[in-house]
Structure 1
Amino acid sequence: MIFADKGSHYQNYFQGKILENIGICSQVDFVRYIQGRKTPGVDPKLFIKDLWFEKVPVRIYQPKAPSASQRRGVMFFHGGGWVFGSLETHEKLCRFIARESESVVVSVGYRLAPEHKYPAAYEDCLNATIHFMKNIEHYGVDPARIIVCGDSAGGNLAAAVSQTLAGGSDLPKLRAQILIYPGLQAVDFNLPSYQQNQGVPLLIRKHAAFFALQYLNGDALHMQEVLEGSHIPPDMRLKYRKWVSPDNIPEKFKVRGVKPLRPTDFIAEVFEKVKRLCEPNLCPLLVEDAIVQQLPESFILTCEYDVLRDDGLLYKKRLEDNGVRVTWYHLEDGFHGIISLYDYCGFSFPAGKRGLDSVVNFLKSL
């Protein structure tokens, strides 16, 4: 079974829940503690330094080998549902990208929910990126080759930052955005990929809504109504249908266990509590075409066994419909989180390594 080795992740969640129930610590604190315990040593090929960009902690990875020209600069935003993840959890991943693509990588330690609600994570990633752009000469980076990159929630943040910076004239233009199985909308949790993969690790359907609500409000109230779709008014649902619809998913992705669902009744009180879910800085798939048309060249990685697969497919279509060049890499045997499991306890999934290599190859093409 492809997911057998994920037991340690779920064991951490269950152990954390037990400790929370008996009053020792919260489940979130326990999982964060476990995730942050390991810090790899020095790297013979990289200079690694912890800094602060404004008030945001970052870790910079710079190749030691001399370069005849200025390097690419990659702003990396880690995944973890805006609740988990850190500079430590994605350390090996950032080292690999920096080494193999010979790029300067800046990993951003943005503030986490539920302590820091939306838009804290987005603001930290945006401010760190702007700081880097304004001080680019200190890092040997080509201002014409700055890329934003992230996985899962980090892909969401990379997309939001890219949209915010699109069309600006006082900063360097982004060269590209790299979105690794990004979560890009919270309008419809019943798209085909949500139905097909609702119980598949590492991200099950109900946890996708749970994390979005934790980021938005610092709690998971109304999660069931959001999962059912009762939080979107009929007129907004009609507007968003041109962007968020099973009709925009290629047929080959709908052959596995998909059924049409009866529309649920709208609940106005729920909408009032969660209406900011429809803001593009939280759900980039909902931004207007005028912004999409200004976005840089894009790379999108999706996995077949991932509830967020269709978010990536829908955004790919929106970008291409608006004339943005897209490189798409789909892991037929991949699942959510597979890239961040690179060299996990000395083990890597072959599909994850292929996906990571595709990211590096895209970077090398820029």
Structure 2
Amino acid sequence: MAASARTKDVRKIPLLAVSYYYEHSRVEIPPGFSQRLKLYIFHYILNLGFGLAQFFDHVGIIPDVYFLRTLMNLVIPPPLKDKHLIIKDLRFEEVDVRIYQPKMSITGQRRGIVYFHGGAGQFGSIHAYERTCRYLARKSNSVVVSVGYRLAPEHPYPTQFEDCVTATVHFMRTAQDYGVDPSRIITCGDSSGGTLSTAVAQALGNRRDLPKLRAQILIYPYSQCVDFNLPSYQQNKRIPVLLKERTLYLGLKHLNKDLSVMEALFKGCHIPEDLKPKYQKWVSSDYIPHEFKTRGYEPSATHPFSKEVYTEVKSMFDPVYSPLLAEDSVIDRLPEAFILTCEYDVLRDDGLLYKKRLEDHGIKVTWCHLQEGFHGSVFLAVFGGIIGFQSGYKGLQEISNFLRLM
């Protein structure tokens, strides 16, 4: 980088600092939240990481995605050895996996859980989710396969989905080698991993060469790209940790799309007129129960359709990316589900709408709603201490209870 360019970037540091402070100062912590200070501190640390990532990316030191991955691996220390589990790193065809097998002897075969980590297709890892997968293996006495799918941008979408399908199919075909009953395999994931969980379940629903999945577990999943102004998006737009703008920013980065279309997406300019009737059957604030609108909701104004924006983001309508938009014939073949939603999460209503879609097709849904939950609270719970939140502990317990019934 030339000296003049470096000088110009250095001069922008105060502007970036002011911008970071402004974004941080707009954050809202729910007034009735019992662990208010802890959430505020955690958000401050997280937002500092995002701010540093954007700055280093801006001045050309390191792309933001690589900085955040490195930071995540540094701040998450490896857990101690677990005397209750046999843990192995394997490859299912070309996909890295880590498998957790309980040592306790049982009569018969165990259930199997295929876990897809969160991270918007760009972050997260087997290492980051080590404690989560250990917890599920121990508490439910299950064999857990943690899938280390390849990440964007090095491996563009839909590589992440393809790796998850490959790993799941391989495990279903070889389940008995790991003491697992092939008819008791469950997909599970949080955030974008929850999206992958249901996308994989949809992809395998019509496979006659495989046993049917026993269940799908969706922990605060992203499910649709049609409406970014649902009640949960409006109510929780400034509540940590998944701010409204950050949600769409990460989603567009995952697809390698132009970030300049964000405002048009928030306005709904990306929905073609001929597709609106179809999507409104599944995505509408009318389907969100009234009790979830009491914190405030204003119907969005109508804005004209932009063919240019639609062309740019058309891949967002793929059911792999937005599983709520799958055809009825696909939904009909899905297994029962466990869906976890959080009150203080922009994606709350994505989960509620997917729950309704499944129930409308007669699919059994076990629903867990965390009244003080926020996006990421279940993931944080396994670390305990200063970043463990009570709502997250409750979520983990409910997931374990569901698994023990499978």
Q: Which TM-score band (shorter chain)?
A: over 0.9
Match of 2:398 among 355, 358, 362: 358
Pairs within 5 Å for 1:329-348: 329-344=368-383, 346-347=385-386, 348=388
Aligned to 1:18: 55
TM (norm. structure 1) is 0.97
Distance 2:54 2:315 in 1: 29
Match of 1:133 among 148, 166, 172: 172
Q: Tell me how far 1:222 sits from its aligned partner.
A: 1.5
Q: Tell me how far 1:221 sits from its aligned partner.
A: 4.1
Letter in 2 for 1:363: L
Q: Counterpart of 1:13 in 2: which secondary structure?
A: helix
Distance 1:202 1:94 in 2: 22
* 1:107 maps onto 2:146 in alignment: yes
Distance 1:343 1:136, change over 3 A: closer
Aligned to 2:333: 294
Letter in 2 for 1:12: G
Letter in 1 for 2:206: G
Q: Counterpart of 2:197 in 1: which secondary structure?
A: helix
Q: Deviations over 1:328-364 (max 9, x none)?
A: 0000110001011023363421110000100000000
Q: Counterpart of 1:50 in 2: which secondary structure?
A: strand
Q: Tell me how far 1:235 sits from its aligned partner.
A: 1.6
* 1:123 maps onto 2:162 in alignment: yes
* 1:51 maps onto 2:82 in alignment: no
Q: Tell me how far 1:117 sits from its aligned partner.
A: 2.1
Q: Tell me how far 1:21 sits from its aligned partner.
A: 2.7
Distance 2:130 2:195 in 1: 19
Asked if the contact 1:210/1:223 (under 8 Å) is kept, the reply is yes
Distance 1:58 1:221, change over 3 A: farther
Aligned to 2:305: 266
Q: Counterpart of 1:3 in 2: which secondary structure?
A: helix
Aligned to 2:6: none
Aligned to 1:318: 357
Asked if the contact 2:139/2:400 (under 8 Å) is kept, the reply is yes
Aligned to 1:8: 45
Asked if the contact 2:257/2:312 (under 8 Å) is kept, the reply is no
Distance 1:39 1:342 in 2: 16
Aligned to 2:30: none
Q: Tell me how far 1:239 sits from its aligned partner.
A: 1.1
Asked if the contact 2:190/2:220 (under 8 Å) is kept, the reply is yes
Q: Deviations over 1:13-46 (max 9, x none)?
A: 1222222233221221111011123222321111
Distance 1:70 1:168 in 2: 23
Distance 1:239 1:159 in 2: 21
* 1:349 maps onto 2:389 in alignment: yes
Unaligned 5+ residue runs, structure 1? none
Q: Deviations over 1:268-307 (max 9, x none)?
A: 0111111111111111000111111111010000000000
Q: Tell me how far 1:248 sits from its aligned partner.
A: 0.6
Aligned to 1:29: 66
* 1:234 maps onto 2:273 in alignment: yes
Unaligned 5+ residue runs, structure 2? 1-35
Match of 1:253 among 292, 297, 310: 292
Letter in 1 for 2:237: Q
Asked if the contact 1:115/1:218 (under 8 Å) is kept, the reply is no
Distance 1:110 1:219, change over 3 A: farther
Aligned to 1:183: 222
Q: Tell me how far 1:161 sits from its aligned partner.
A: 0.3
Question: Which range moves more in the overlay, 13-22 or 202-211?
Answer: 13-22
Distance 1:226 1:116 in 2: 25
Letter in 2 for 1:34: L
Higher fraction of helix: 2
What root-mean-square deviation, in Å, do the aligned CA atoms of Structure 1 and Structure 2 show? 1.3
Letter in 1 for 2:297: V
Distance 2:41 2:336 in 1: 35
Q: Counterpart of 1:29 in 2: which secondary structure?
A: helix
Question: Which range moves more in the overlay, 263-272 or 211-220?
Answer: 211-220
Distance 1:96 1:123 in 2: 26
Question: Which range moves more in the overlay, 226-235 or 280-289?
Answer: 226-235
Aligned to 1:165: 204
Q: Tell me how far 1:233 sits from its aligned partner.
A: 0.6
Larger radius of gyration: 2
Q: Counterpart of 2:378 in 1: which secondary structure?
A: coil
Q: Counterpart of 1:173 in 2: which secondary structure?
A: coil
Amino-acid identity (%) = 52
* 1:194 maps onto 2:233 in alignment: yes
Q: Counterpart of 1:135 in 2: which secondary structure?
A: helix
Asked if the contact 1:213/1:221 (under 8 Å) is kept, the reply is no
